Amino acid sequence: MARLAVLHNTLDLRGGADAVCVRACAALAERHDVTLFTVSRADPAAVAADFGVSLDVPGDVRVASPPLADAVAGAFARAAPRIGPQLPARSTLLRAFFRRHADEYDLAVSTANEFALSLPSLQYVHFPQFHGRRTPRADPGTLDPLWSRLAGPTPGAVGDDAHLLANSAWTADTVASIYGRRPAVLHPPVAPVAGRAWADREPGVLVLGRIAPDKRTLDAIRVADAVRERGHDLRFHVVGTAAPAYRDYVERVRSAAAERPYLAVETDADRERVETLLGRYRYGLNAKPDEHFGMAVAEYVAAGMVAFAPDSGGQRDVLAGDERLLFDGVEGAAERVAAAVESGLTPTLPRDRFGPERFADALRDHVAAALE
């Protein structure tokens, strides 16, 4: 049994990276002594429950946070509408705190991207958080050079004791373009979801995930309008987390829904409710281009839905490059959805292709290799 420190900048957004974090903690706690280092207001056990994961805190995993972490996390959330989520800033703060404790651990496991660390590490990259100016795929912000200098690895000089993983082939290529090393690809864990038989499902479209500008939720609503203009009487149902960081955008989404009787919006639904909706509808839509992986898209597949996503980023991995499911822009999305309805397209991808046990076994193998 090794002493592992899991580093995760924040669980407050409750997105796909957070699902990876809690599943990683649960998987590693079966064999190792695990402490989660984070700057969050959210309760890790509650976040785990949101993703259908049982995590006993502090029984399975201890939690360590900087002094006044709750107040700091709250300050980030309040400032986010003006300055953005500032994940690299949280990561920089987390690294500074962890440095004082690093000697107590055999291995650091980052589930929130890359860090410069003083001990052997396994680093799972959803998308590079530092040196964003080195790739056109990033929107780094004005403080990127500062955060990169304080907490990021040096491009071209990532140490051999840093073992890198990426959530998709697209992300792995992006990491390689910045750091000169291509990570191994380990797709995130997504459990199969029980649902109705296809013939019993409602012919509607589910839009699942964070309600946020980068997720293009308002674009998904425009897709709903365009599909209905094509003569298809489909109901659209937006279900997602409404983090305080995106409160202004969430209000815009709610206002748009209030004007459309065919559009429903739910925020912060519990896991049972999410799985009920995944099992109810036939179609799932993601509107964000260049999604680093596409956790919601993978959940659509796991629930036996026909999923649609932009023809870019890691979503191509999730949908196996099927051109019937991939689109460009709002009109392209509407065309794909309409064509699927008209042709009677049914699901073709295996529901268990991203199963949690596959992820847990592979992660434990990577940890064992890093410890060696």
Burial string for 270-298 (b: 16+ CB within 10 Å, else e) reads eeeebbebbbbbbbbbbbbbbbbbbbbbb
Structural domain includes residue 56: yes
pLDDT score of 177 more than 70: yes
- Counting the structural domains of the chain, the total is 2
Structural domain includes residue 9: yes
Whether 253 and 154 share a structural domain = no
Whether 55 and 178 share a structural domain = yes
Structural domain includes residue 54: yes
**CATH code where residue 124 lies:** 3.40.50.2000
Whether 257 and 185 share a structural domain = no
- Nearest CA to 119 out of 8, 1, 5, 10 is that of 5
Whether 32 and 159 share a structural domain = yes
Say what the pTM is. Answer: 0.88
Whether 235 and 263 share a structural domain = yes
pLDDT score of 193 more than 90: yes
Whether 206 and 63 share a structural domain = no
DSSP string, 128-158: --S-GGG-TT----TTHHHHHHHHPPPTT--
Structural domain includes residue 220: yes
Tens of pLDDT, residue by residue over 201-230, are: 999 999 999 899 999 999 999 999 999 999
357 Cβ contact partners less than 8 Å away, ≥ 6 residues apart: none
Q: For residue 367, what are the domain limits?
A: 3-189+355-371
Helix (H, G, I), strand (E, B), or coil: what is residue 122?
Answer: strand
pLDDT score of 303 more than 70: yes
DSSP string, 312-369: STTHHHHTTT-TTTEESHHHHHHHHHHHHHHHT----S-TTTT-HHHHHHHHHHHHHH
Structural domain includes residue 102: yes
Structural domain includes residue 348: no
Whether 332 and 360 share a structural domain = no
The DSSP secondary-structure symbol of 268 reads S
Average pLDDT, the chain: 93
Whether 155 and 130 share a structural domain = yes
Whether 87 and 148 share a structural domain = yes
How much is the average pLDDT of 262-270? Answer: 93
CB–CB of 205/337 below 8 Å? yes
Tens of pLDDT, residue by residue over 86-133, are: 788 899 999 999 999 999 999 999 999 999 999 999 999 999 999 999
Please tell me the distance from the alpha carbon of residue 101 to that of residue 122, in angstroms, as a whole number.
17
Helix (H, G, I), strand (E, B), or coil: what is residue 282?
Answer: strand
Tens of pLDDT, residue by residue over 313-368, are: 999 999 999 999 999 999 999 999 999 999 999 999 999 999 999 999 999 999 99
Whether 214 and 326 share a structural domain = yes
- Give the confidence band of 82 by pLDDT, cuts at 50, 70, 90: very low
Structural domain includes residue 350: no
Whether 274 and 249 share a structural domain = yes
Please tell me the distance from the alpha carbon of residue 127 to that of residue 292, in angstroms, as a whole number.
6
pLDDT score of 267 more than 60: yes
Sign for the pseudo-dihedral over CA of 353, 358, 362, 363: positive
Whether 28 and 147 share a structural domain = yes
Tens of pLDDT, residue by residue over 8-22, are: 999 988 888 999 999
- Give the confidence band of 290 by pLDDT, cuts at 50, 70, 90: very high
pLDDT score of 72 more than 80: no
Structural domain includes residue 250: yes
Q: Residue 79 has what pLDDT?
A: 58
